[in-house]
Structure 1
């Protein structure tokens, strides 16, 4: 059930209460009508009350009884226009009581019975309480003036009439306050109910999306609740399989052991074939109560990856600190080697040694630069770009900045506009690194490198892609599985950080970088970008 539907269900509750109140209000009206009929038709009542106008009383009481019964039967229809319906019904009550007061002499209880009508109407419709009490007062004053001036048998004291009129206003205003307070309390309770339902839905969604598996098991080992991760880790059992012993026997055995010994086995176990190993943890919902038990399944592979991420993060910060300390002495060594190389007294062997020093200084400086670049990456600032125009400009810029010699670098673009959301600066660094690697390693022996930068879409209406393709020997599968790991390299003078940095920069712009083997030989590095207009926001790099 969605939150909106639950909110509507909660909003119907005050309507049910109002119907009950309205039903008893109509039922009380029928009781009044029965009393009126008894007073005008019963021979016993006629003996101890005075009927000044018997026919008027009998017609008024009979008609009022019929109307009261009709209102009782039509309670649900009356709710369609609640305010107007209650107001009209109260007018009928006051009119009937006025006619009864005009036809019966010396029976003031009728005006007191109307006091209840005024109070209930003010409770149901607090904002009309003053109007109701005013109409009721007029309904009482009218027969008083009629009897005082036209009926010689009329004997009701004016103070008694004034007291009842005041009572109308006091009761109406008092119940108005009570009614407003009740409506405010109902509205607040309704709002709190909707908030609780929404919070329950949010909690349910969070639990369902948790990477940690969560199960709720009762005393009979029946699974009461289970989230997606737990359902996957125990082997995706059928929905009707709610018995833990059948769905995950090993987990049921460990739960039994924990319930009886209080000790949890810390060894990892796979609860289903081809599923990662987990470490189950158990906890009671209430102390000393084994009725319901929460089971948490921690995926050991996720824990390992988190530990690896923390290690790499710490290693990155440590490496950056070391790189700063290495940079100054490295610059002094390199500068001294350059000055030594200019000496005319160097022998051929010494010149070779100086060359070796310069080469290794250059390599060490590249490692330092890559580490510093890794530690000071800035926030990604994605924007919408035309990939075709960007790739053409990139290839032209690369050719002008680098001497390709006999190597070939070309761009292949689409014949239609292809837009993507990416940080152009990050994309420039990633593509530059990939093209440089392709020109350096993506060549057959004794042949020039042939590198192509391609733009296309993954499929019909798929995400935009940039592919850097070469026709070299390709990358062996064992090496390809590790090329994006930091400090992994197969080249003598490689740093092992180029592809790692490229992948990190791509992910900072909500893109992905992957290696794709090429049929017939060669390598392809594919950058999958976010389409223009994507609502994804760039993550903070580093």
Structure 2
């Protein structure tokens, strides 16, 4: 953006006529403002022509037009009025006047005023003051050299008129003409200075608006791309704004309307918070199979209007960090367990082996040694499971197609404890994309399949189960493992995930616990579907959204 040059430099520099009419437009006036100002200026010239023409028909004309015949003045004023009317019509059809057109119109007005002054003289009749209007308008619409050039043109015309009148023997007004010229330049410089300040203010205001607009866009983009779902309610329950994460969590395409119509479960949590803000709201699920959502509320006031911010978090994502902290503490504990238990356990096992080599051992003692070996092995298995869990603090997620991976899993996995296991797949035709650590997914699915095959074998005499996969309405992938066992009652649906809880005498009670822990550190959730008599247990894994980054 260009600014007006200092007056001394303008008067000293040589004018570059090739670029004089191609200066960039000032941002102070857009096309609409320039057009309106030129129309107003054109109206002023028409009114001036009509006024002067009217004065020429009155007795005042003898004083005002003392050096020219009244008839010639009348003809010229009619010509002046006609030219201004034609320029009005031209401006009407040319609604985007440029710099050249503006300079031409104002220069023409100065020339016609100069001819009028040449005809009538300017002895104290005040007509020379009419130069100030085009000079002011020109320096508003034109910047830098062009504005100063208009003052120079007006001064040269005024001096030439004075010299011509002096040559004709009339009273010379050199001093008045020179002072008027100085006033023309002073007026131009003053208008240029004011225009420059207004231009700087307009630029600062525009930059401030642009910066505020960019910050608003940046804030909106950040909110839209946040993993936390955000809703803004205008009290009592009108939705003002909703980001993309909230739309996915609530499984909706609507971003406006009433909260009750959008999510009755969220509306219930909101009313609970209104009744008691200090009470932590309960989590809820937007649809069957969708991850649980944990809401938080905060009231804000803006311009005398109350708003409520609702933050929606995926409960699985929130538990991930807590899970990492828990596993870090568990790692320290298991290291101590390994040191304190494994050494004496190894000594017990080694001593039992030495006793078994004795030739004087009775059958009863051999049976006791077998029990010792069995329980040493079981305790060692418990320690291995806990150590294995504590080492899973770091994950390496990758994007996979679950359909193809499940087929490979069945073909490559060998369940050595079962003879000819029957594992059926029920998969959708479209590929299901999952972001997860593959080694941990394989461990989870291996444990679930082992449990399912074992309970199916005990209940039906045949090791069989069903693997299902799909995508929920909230676009979250899911995987189900259904066995043909007796099923797990609803009152035990959470107990089976507790550590060391087991109904199998040979089990350690850590398998399902480890599976849930591994799912949670991958921002997935493992649960048990409600009990039904006609089927066995159905374990349901809801994975993180495929577009969500897991770290």
Deviation at 1:120, TM superposition (A): 3.5
Matches within 5 A, 1:298-337: 316-337=327-348
Tell me the secondary structure at the aligned position of residue 481 of structure 2.
Answer: strand
Structure 2 residue matching 1:444: 3-state secondary structure: helix
Aligned to 2:482: 469
Cα 1:94–1:355 change in 2 (3 A) is same
Query: Quick one: structure 1 residues 159 and 280, their matched pair in 2 at CA, closer, same or farther if it must change by over 3 Å?
Result: closer
User: Is 1:342 matched up with 2:357?
Assistant: no
CA distance in 2, matches of 1:514, 1:355: 35
Question: Contact (CA 8 Å) 1:453, 1:469: kept in 2 or not?
Answer: yes
Deviation at 1:398, TM superposition (A): 1.4
CA distance in structure 2 between the aligned counterparts of 1:453 and 1:331, rounded to whole angstroms: 38
Matched, 1:434 2:448: yes
Distance 1:50 1:335 in 2: 131
1:392 is matched with which residue? 407
Are residue 381 (structure 1) and residue 397 (structure 2) matched?
A: yes
- How far residue 149 of structure 1 moved from its aligned partner, in angstroms, is 5.2
CA contact (8 A) 2:131 2:154 kept: no
Q: Identify which of 416, 428, 450 aligns with 1:403.
A: 416
Q: Which residue of 1 aligns with 2:19?
A: none
CA offsets 1:491-513 (integer angstroms, 9 cap, x no match): 45655554354345445556554
In the TM superposition, what is the alpha-carbon distance from 1:370 to its structure 2 partner? Answer: 4.7
Q: Which whole-Å CA distance do the structure 2 matches of 1:487 and 1:89 have between them? A: 96
Q: Which has the higher contact order (CA 8 A, sep 6+)?
A: 2
DSSP-derived class of the 1:50 partner: coil
CA distance in 1, matches of 2:348, 2:184: 113
Q: Deviations over 1:248-295 (max 9, x none)?
A: 8997xx9xxxxxxxxx9978999xxxxxxx999999x79xxxx97979
1:138 aligns with 2:157: no
Which SS does the other structure have where 2:140 is aligned?
Answer: helix
Indicate conservation of the 8 Å contact 1:388/1:413, yes or no: no
Post-superposition offset of 1:332: 0.9
Give the alignment's TM-score, normalised by structure 2. 0.65
Alpha carbons 1:215, 1:294 under 8 Å: kept: yes
Q: Could you list the per-position Cα deviations for residues 426-474 of structure 1 after superposition, in whole angstroms to 9, with x for gaps in the alignment?
A: 43233223223223334333713113444x5448997655443322222
- Report the alpha carbon displacement of residue 51 of structure 1 after superposing the two structures with TM: 3.7
Closer/same/farther in 2, CA of residues 398 and 196 from structure 1, 3 Å limit: closer
**Which residue in the other structure is 1:537 paired with?**
548
> Closer, same or farther in 2 for the Cα pair 1:280/1:428, shift >3 Å?
closer
Residue pair 2:458, 2:485 contacting (<8 A) in 1 also: yes
Shift of 1:75: 9.4
User: Among 433, 441, 459, which residue is 1:420 paired with?
Assistant: 433
- The residue aligned with 1:480 is 493
**Residues 1:358 and 2:387 are matched in the alignment:** no
Displacement after TM superposition at 1:326 (Å)? 0.8
> 1:99·1:143 contact (CA, 8 Å) conserved in 2?
no
Aligned-pair CA distance for 1:520: 3.2
- 1:523 is the counterpart of 2:537: yes
Alpha carbons of 1:537 and 1:237: their partners in 2 closer, same or farther (altered >3 Å)? closer
Aligned pairs for 1:268-287 (under 5 A) are: none
Contact 1:39 1:46 in 2 (8 A): no
2:209 to 190, 212, 216: 190
1:510, 1:269 → 2: CA distance? 21
* Number of aligned residues: 476
Instruction: Tell me the equivalent position of 1:90.
Output: 106
**3-state DSSP of counterpart to 1:342:** helix
Q: Name 1:118's counterpart in structure 2.
A: 135
